[in-house]
Amino acid sequence: METLKKYFDYIFFYNQDAPLIFTRLYFWVFFAVVLTFYTFLYKRKLLRSTYLFLVSLFFYYKTSGFYFFLLIFSTLVDYFIGHRIYKEESSVKRKLWVALSVFVNLSVLFYFKYAYLLVDTINTIWGTNFVVRDVLAESINNLLHLHLDITSIFLPVGISFYTFQTISYSVDIYRNKIKPLDNILDFGFYVSFFPQLVAGPIVRASEFIPQIKADYRLTKKDFGLALFFILNGLFKKMVLADFIAVNFVDRVFANPVSYSGVENLFALFGYSLQVYADFSGYTDMATGVALLMGFRLPKNFNYPYKAKSVGEFWKRWHISLSSWLKDYLYIPLGGNRKGTVGTYMIGAIILIIILLLAKNPIVTYVTAGVVVLFFVMARISESFKRWVNTNINIMLTMLLGGLWHGAHLKFMMWGGLNGLGLVVYKLWKEISPYEGKNHFLINVWRIALTFAFITFTRAWFRADSFEKANQVISQIVNHFNPHVFPAFLVGFKTVLLVMLFGYILHWLPDKWKDSFQEKFIASPMVLQLLVVVVAVFLIYQTRITDLQPFIYFQF
- Whether 270 has a pLDDT exceeding 90, the answer reads yes
- Asked whether residue 237 falls in the same domain as residue 207, the answer is no
Q: By residue range, what is the domain housing residue 278?
A: 219-301+464-555
- Asked whether residue 53 falls in the same domain as residue 172, the answer is yes
Does some domain include residue 450?
Answer: no
The three-state DSSP-derived secondary structure of 435-470 is: CCCCCHHHHHHHHHHHHHHHHHHHHHHHCCCHHHHH
Does some domain include residue 194?
Answer: yes
pLDDT digit string, tens, across residues 10-57 = 777 777 777 778 888 888 889 999 999 999 988 888 999 999 999 999
- Whether 152 has a pLDDT exceeding 70, the answer reads no
**Distance set, CA 11 to CA 64, 146, 158 (Å):** 15, 19, 21
Is the bond leading into 201 cis (omega within 30 degrees of zero)?
A: yes
Give the number of other CB atoms < 10 A from CB of residue 345: 10
pLDDT digit string, tens, across residues 515-533 = 989 999 998 888 888 888 8
- Asked whether residue 92 falls in the same domain as residue 201, the answer is yes
- The whole-number average pLDDT for the span 166-189 is 91
Cα dihedral sign for 461, 465, 470, 476? negative
End-to-end, the C-alpha distance of the chain in Å comes to 39
- The whole-number average pLDDT for the span 140-148 is 70
Number of domains within the chain? 3
pLDDT digit string, tens, across residues 444-456 = 999 999 999 999 9
For the ranges 232-241, 340-349, 424-433, the one whose mean pLDDT is highest: 232-241
Cα dihedral sign for 363, 366, 368, 374? negative
Cα dihedral sign for 442, 444, 446, 449? negative
- Asked whether residue 282 falls in the same domain as residue 233, the answer is yes
**Distance set, CA 409 to CA 20, 61, 75, 139, 417 (Å):** 31, 31, 32, 31, 12
> How far is Cα 230 from Cα 71, in angstroms, rounded to an integer?
26
Q: Say which residues have a Cβ less than 8 Å from residue 397's Cβ, sequence separation at least 6.
A: 325, 326, 329, 330, 333, 419
Q: Is 457:414 a contact under the CB 8 Å cutoff? A: yes
> How far is Cα 169 from Cα 81, in angstroms, rounded to an integer?
10
- Asked whether residue 319 falls in the same domain as residue 266, the answer is no
- Asked whether residue 245 falls in the same domain as residue 320, the answer is no
Domain-terminating residue out of 164, 194, 216: 216
- Asked whether residue 7 falls in the same domain as residue 74, the answer is yes
Domain-terminating residue out of 216, 233, 252: 216
- Asked whether residue 223 falls in the same domain as residue 212, the answer is no
Domain-terminating residue out of 197, 216, 235: 216
Does some domain include residue 137?
Answer: no
Poorest-pLDDT segment among 179-188, 375-384, 486-495: 375-384
pLDDT of residue 329: 85
Give the pLDDT band (50/70/90) at residue 111. confident
Q: Is 535:231 a contact under the CB 8 Å cutoff? A: yes
